């Protein structure tokens, strides 16, 4: 028997000190929606720092995919298949091409990465392009669902704008988890242990605890504000000068 879960989340996205120094806009974007009692979606995108409109590309990517999934679940009682998802990715690419044409630049100037969580009933769907990450908690232990991907060399990055086709990874899992965290690569150094390829429990446990303990549902405004202040804190900015986006989700 399916049980409607009590979804609640805190989320924040803050500009990196490197962008502040250069006078450029924040490149990260995110979107979170509880679509119905059995469906929850969250997406994070990081625009390429080398792309003139990477932040706009990230925003378009997040909005487009969230709209696609919301529309899908309004008419379907099952997860979309790979063909439907690739169709939506192609639609995003077309939108980015149109935006690029309007500005007289190539689509590559809207390059952005992707990590997305879709929970439908007792199933989990995760999507990933490149180095944003998704981790999940099961029986008190954090595990990496989507580990950051880079190319053969550390400086190689994959984007939704890549030609001739996008490098999209898709993961299907049972809903054995009671908490999730999505984040951009600006938090990789403090959230992930590279040697073991595992999340830092000492980072995620105290971050998720207040969300676990809240009685309400939906977006937690006060905790989202506290999360934003943490992402702007000098202690964290000393460790990373990139944009930082973090979405913390509990369904315990």
> pLDDT tens, 160-199?
999 998 999 999 999 999 999 999 999 999 999 999 999 9
- Inter-residue contact 114 to 66 (CB < 8 Å): no
Residue 129 is assigned to a structural domain of this protein: yes
Residue 2 is assigned to a structural domain of this protein: no
Range of the domain at 125: 8-250
Q: For 54-103, write each residue's pLDDT tens digit.
A: 999 999 999 999 999 999 999 999 999 999 999 999 999 999 999 999 99
* pTM for the model: 0.96
**Would you state the structure tokens that stand for residue 184, as one six-digit string?**
């951009």
Which comes out higher in pLDDT, residue 50 or 28?
A: 28
Residue 1 is assigned to a structural domain of this protein: no
pLDDT score recorded for residue 157: 80
Buried b (16+ CB within 10 A) or exposed e, 208-234: bebbeebeeeeebeebbeebbeebeee
CB atoms under 10 Å from CB of 159, counted, come to: 26
pLDDT score recorded for residue 3: 66
pLDDT greater than 60 at residue 1: no
Residue 16 is assigned to a structural domain of this protein: yes
pLDDT greater than 60 at residue 153: no
Question: Could you tell me the CATH number of the domain that includes residue 189?
Answer: 3.60.40.10
Lowest mean per-residue pLDDT among 48-57, 138-147, 150-159, 177-186: 150-159
Q: What is the arithmetic mean of pLDDT over 125-137?
A: 96
pLDDT greater than 90 at residue 143: yes
């Amino acid at each position: 028997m399916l049980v409607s879960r009590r979804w609640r989340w805190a989320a924040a996205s803050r500009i990196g000190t490197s962008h502040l120094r250069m006078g450029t806009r924040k490149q990260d974007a995110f979107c979170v929606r509880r679509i119905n009692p059995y469906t929850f979606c969250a997406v994070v995108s990081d625009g390429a720092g080398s792309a003139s409109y990477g932040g706009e590309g990230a925003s378009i990517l997040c909005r487009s995919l969230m709209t696609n999934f919301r529309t899908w679940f309004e008419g379907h009682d099952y997860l979309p298949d790979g063909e439907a998802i690739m169709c939506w990715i192609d639609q995003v690419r077309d939108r980015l091409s149109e935006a690029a044409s309007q500005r007289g630049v190539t689509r590559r100037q809207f390059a952005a990465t992707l990590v997305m969580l879709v929970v439908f009933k007792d199933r989990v769907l995760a999507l990933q392009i490149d180095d944003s990450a998704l981790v999940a908690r099961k029986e008190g232990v954090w595990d990496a669902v989507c580990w950051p991907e880079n190319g053969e060399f550390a400086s190689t990055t994959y984007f939704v704008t890549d030609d001739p086709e996008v490098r999209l990874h898709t993961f299907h899992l049972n809903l054995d988890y009671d908490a999730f965290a999505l984040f951009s690569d600006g938090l990789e150094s403090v959230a992930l242990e590279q040697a073991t390829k595992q999340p830092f429990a000492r980072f995620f446990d105290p971050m998720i605890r207040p969300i676990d303990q809240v009685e309400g549902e939906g977006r937690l405004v006060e905790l989202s504000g506290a999360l934003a202040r943490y992402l702007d804190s000098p202690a964290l900015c000393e460790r990373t000068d990139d944009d930082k986006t973090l979405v913390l989700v509990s369904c315990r």
